[in-house]
Chain A
Amino acid sequence: MSRAVRPPATSRRRKNARVATALLAAGALALTACSTGGAPAASDGDEQETELTKMLVVTFLPLESFSFTPEMFAYSGGYFEKHGLDVQLQPVQGTAAAIQALLGGATPITRASTVDVFPAMEQGQELRSIGTMAYKSNLRVASTEDNSITSTADMEGATIGMGSLGGTSEKMLDLALGADGVPLDSVTRQAVPVTGATMEVVRQGQLDGYIVSLDTSLAIAQQNDDAVVDRAGLTDAPDIQTWITTADNLEDPELVEDLEAFLAAIDEAVQDVIDDAPNDFENVLQTLRESGDWSFPALEDDQVAVEALKIYTTETWVNEAADVRLLENDLEAWQTTYDTYVDAGLLQGGKDPQEWITNDYVPGD
């Protein structure tokens, strides 16, 4: 789904809530009339409805991916409303656009990978990480059996496709190649549509492989007998996806309250997804499907959906070392990631990355 602003579900729920409230009020009125001999009702139905705070949240890609399960489930499951928010999710094209939307004041919060946000932070942008969404990258390389790519060494001399040049995928590729001593310029990069259809181009030999998201990789593996989908060293490079806001926003008490409510809603939604794992995520998938808010192939495919959510709930949203709780920033991993980027030449270095991070707004136990 790629609608610009997403009011329908909230509106629908509100409408339903209003109808239910009106019916209850009518029922109560009838009962009151019976019991009091027709005395007027004391309360108005609308007054019982809690006023929600509107919040526009920018996402770095359209939401049709299990990568955005936290946002989608918090939205359709009513978690945002429970925490007093009327959230509108606004996709933009790429992390850079999301960061610019945040800096320009169009959104109070977005999420971005450290590989994208560290350069801006190092250049003095007052960005603050207030929570971690993903503790590692989930990128995969799709190739064919005839010319499989399962390591960075396989990429030497190859043409590798990616969604956008200079974006997160390319930066992670550079990090992985650099870490393994593979010359960066030995790999030709090509912007391609990161869909299953591009496998045909790989078969034709125009591409040796291409970098895809977890959902797409699972779908490709399922749909193509000759497909090889591998991490190919890309997930070895550190990458943390964090919720970011600006230092200015954190000085506004009202906005801080909203940000805390947002993180609390996400936290609760993610925990419920994790708790639904023994049930093969049946409740989560049912909520997402029946809400009518989302429509993408992976959501309708039980096998892909369950497989993707398993990986997100066991490897991505939780810290494998289990020494930090959901959404909590891992300060040590943050520092290590910064140092790795500096060593790789991605950053100049000499800054204290701990200044850009805080756990003050993550929901407490």
Chain B
Amino acid sequence: MSQTTRTHEPTSAPGARATVDDAPTTPVAVQRRQPQGRMLKILPWIVTPSLVILIIVAWQLYVTLGDVNPFVFPPPAAVGQAFVVLVTDPATWAELGITVSEILIGFAVAVILGVIVGVVLGKLPWLELSIRPLIVISQVAPKVAFIPLFVIWFGFGMTSKIVLAALLAFFPVMLNVLLGVRSVEQGQREVMSSLNASRAQTFTQLELRSLQPYLFAGMEVGIVLATTGAIVGEYLGGSEGLGAMVVRAMNSLDAARTFALILLLALIGLVLYLIVNEAKRFFIPWHESVYGLRSET
């Protein structure tokens, strides 16, 4: 983090670190950093489109020069055309609605359960120690292998996909919350104690606010995994949603449509991630991960 960041960081907010260097930044230093700040602001608008164009050009060259069969790897123009057809079809939006609903519901369940379990385990180290092997086992178990069973247990509708999305998103949220609860500095606890704060007050005023950055870190990973879970659930055991559309397109040997659907799914994942990221900026503007980036740009 730069000096500029630390200089502007509010010290009153819980969870914020004490300022190391409170000396005002000199005008010269500010002037020196302004061009860099502007550059950082416009960098994504230059680099990302450039990379996209580069990838498309390389893709086109590869399929043209390599004489690649379009059934195996379609050219970008065919995928673009299929993408336009896809997004202008009302049926796609109906399926998209199903997929997004599964992702959001699964993610919400994961966040709620993740916070509850994370806080409980964070505050009860003996319990966390006792069940740690189970936590690790359940985290490393290949959950995708359970999809056929989920379909049988939870039915063919949205429920089985929501369960998978929630299951995948749960652990990063829970583990980050647990870490957040454990990361509250002893000194801050002592301050609360010296102010005669009750346990509830300590929790709401200190712990809950302190763990927010950790929670959002978990949520950023969780939303990506929830998206993956819902899509894989549809892919392996569904008849609705974009995942099922991918299966149909693949079975029809329609490679361009398959690629277009994958592109659409990737965009959905990106949008959902950005929403969570924006929520983080909104809820914890005081945290270094948000404030630091903002002052840099």
**CB contact list, B107-158 vs A, under 8 A:** 148-149, 151-152, 155-156
CB distance from B254 to the nearest CB of A (A): 9
Give complex CA distance A120, B148 in Å.
Answer: 30
A190 near B72 with CB under 8 A, answer: no
B237 at the interface (CB under 8 A from A): yes
| A100→B252 CA distance, assembly (Å) | 11
Are the CB atoms of B248 and A166 closer together than 8 Å? yes
Given the known inter-chain contacts A189-B239, A192-B237, A195-B148, please indicate yes or no for A206 contacting B155, CB distance below 8 A: yes
Q: Which residue on chain B has the smallest CB distance to residue A127?
A: B71
Is A349 interfacial (CB-CB < 8 Å)? Answer: no
Quick check: is B175 within 8 A (CB to CB) of the other chain?
A: no
Distance (Å) between the CB of A192 and the closest chain B CB? 7
Q: Are B152 and A198 in contact (CB under 8 A)?
A: yes
Known: A96-B250, A190-B239, A191-B244. 13 other contacts (CB 8 A): A119-B253, A125-B69, A166-B248, A188-B239, A189-B239, A191-B156, A191-B247, A192-B151, A192-B237, A193-B237, A200-B152, A201-B152, A207-B156
Instruction: Please name the residue on chain B nearest to A201 by beta carbon.
Output: B152
Report chain B residues within 8 Å CB of A206: 155-156
- Give bound CA distance, A191 to B249, whole Å: 14
Interface pair B156/A103, CB less than 8 Å apart: no
Partner of B251, one of A166, A188, A193, A197: A166
Q: How far is the CB of A246 from chain B (nearest CB, A)?
A: 9
Residues 215-250 of B at the A interface (beta carbon under 8 Å): 236-239, 244, 247-250
Known: A164-B247, A165-B244, A193-B148. A103 touches B239 (CB 8 A): no
Residues of B within 8 A of A344 (CB): none
Contact status A166-B247, CB under 8 Å: yes
What chain B residues lie within 8 Å of A192 (beta carbons)? Answer: 151, 156, 237
- Chain B residues lying within 8 Å of A97, measured Cβ to Cβ, are 250
Is the C-beta of A7 less than 8 angstroms from some C-beta in chain B? no
Known: A125-B71, A165-B239. A120 touches B253 (CB 8 A): yes
Please name 22 pairs of A and B residues whose Cβ atoms are closer than 8 Å in the assembled complex, sorted by A: A94-B250, A94-B251, A95-B251, A99-B71, A100-B72, A100-B253, A103-B72, A104-B69, A104-B73, A119-B253, A120-B253, A165-B247, A166-B252, A167-B251, A189-B239, A192-B156, A193-B152, A193-B237, A197-B148, A200-B152, A206-B155, A206-B156
Contacts of B148 in A (CB 8 A): 193, 195, 197
Task: Convert A48-82 into 0s and 1s, putting 1 for each residue whose CB lies closer than 8 angstroms to a CB of B.
Answer: 00000000000000000000000000000000000
Residues of A within 8 A of B253 (CB): 96, 99-100, 116, 119-120
Instruction: Tell me which residues across on chain B come within 8 A of A95, comparing CB atoms.
Output: 251
How many Å lie between the Cα of A74 and that of B282 in the bound state?
Answer: 65
Distance in Å: Cβ of B285 to nearest Cβ of chain A? 45
The distance in angstroms between the C-alpha atoms of A97 and B250, with both chains bound, is: 8
Contact residues in A for B251 (Cβ distance below 8 Å): 94-96, 116, 164-167, 170
Contacts of B252 in A (CB 8 A): 96, 119, 166
- 5 tightest Cβ-Cβ pairs between the two chains A and B: A166-B251, A193-B148, A166-B248, A104-B72, A167-B251
In Å, the complex CA distance between A126 and B239 comes to 32
Q: Within residues 112 to 132 of chain A, which ones have a CB less than 8 A from any CB in chain B?
A: 116, 119-120, 125
